Amino acid sequence: MNIVASRAALAPSARTQVHWSVRWENELRLTEHAELAEFFRKSYGPTGAFNAQPFEGSRSWAGARPEVRVIGRDAHGVAAHVGLLRRFIKIGAVDLLVAELGLYAVRPDLEGLGISHALRVMYPILHELGVPFGFGTVRPALEKHLTRLVQRQGLATLMSGLRVRSTHPDVYPNLSPIRIEEVIVVVFPVQSAISEWPAGAMIDRNGPEL
C-alpha cells in the first residue's frame, strides 16, 4: 500500500527545505537501505561507537524492523527519520495494540529540526492504521527535550517511573536475553483517550525495541 501521494504533510518545510516521504518497508530498495544505514551511523556515532554498530553495511534497523518509515530529505540526502511498528505490548494482564515509534534520528549538521516534524507527518498514519495508541520510550535524559517537542504541543503524554522489559535483538552466551530498563514512556492517544491507557509499572515489549 502506497500512502505517500495523498499526504499534504509531505510538503517541504519552509525553514529547512526538508521534503518528507512515507515509505512502507517493502518499498525500500537496497540503495535506500544503504543510504539510511550510513545516515544512522553518522547520526548515532557521535553518541558512541556502540550505538552506530548495528548499522554496519546496509542494515537500516537496530532491533526490531519497522514496517513504515517517515524519511526527511534535503539537498544533502537523508536529514531525519522515524520508524513505526505495530505490535502488542502487555501492561499487567492487559494485551494492548500499539504502534511503536522508534529509530528517531536527525542528521548532526542540522539545527532546529526536531523529531516533532517527523512525528507530525507520522500522526495521520497512526489514525489511518486505527491503533489505540502510539508508543515509544526514551532515556530519562531526553525528558525535557520530548516535553518541549511533543507534550507541550498536545501530541503525546510522557510517563516516568515505569520499567520496560524487552529482549535483546541477538542472543549472546554471556548476556541475559532479557533487558529491563527504567525509561520515559511516550504515549500518543490515537483512537483511545489517554485515560484508557492501562495502569501498571511494568511494560512487557516481548521483543526487541524498535
Please name the residue ranges forming H helices in 45-178: 49-52, 115-129, 143-146
Q: Do residues 54 and 61 lie in contact, with contact meaning Cβ atoms separated by under 8 Å?
A: yes
Task: Enter the DSSP assignment of 76.
Answer: T
User: What grid cell was written down for 100?
Assistant: 511503536
User: What grid cell was written down for 179?
Assistant: 533487558
Provide the sign of the torsion angle of the four alpha carbons 114, 115, 117, 118, taken in this order. Answer: positive
Task: Report the C-alpha gap between 130 and 197 in whole angstroms.
Answer: 16
Among candidates 142, 144, 80, 89, which has minimal Cα distance to 114?
80
Among candidates 104, 92, 179, 165, which has minimal Cα distance to 134?
104
User: What grid cell was written down for 73?
Assistant: 530529505
The reported pLDDT for the residue numbered 108 is 77
Task: Report the C-alpha gap between 73 and 21 in whole angstroms.
Answer: 8
pLDDT tens over the chain, length 210 residues: 211 222 333 344 445 588 889 999 999 999 999 999 999 999 888 877 788 999 999 999 999 999 999 999 988 899 999 999 999 999 999 999 999 999 988 887 775 555 566 777 888 899 999 999 999 998 887 777 777 667 666 778 899 999 999 999 998 899 999 999 999 999 999 999 999 999 999 999 999 999
pTM of the model: 0.85
The pair phi, psi for residue 155, each rounded to 5°, is -80, -35
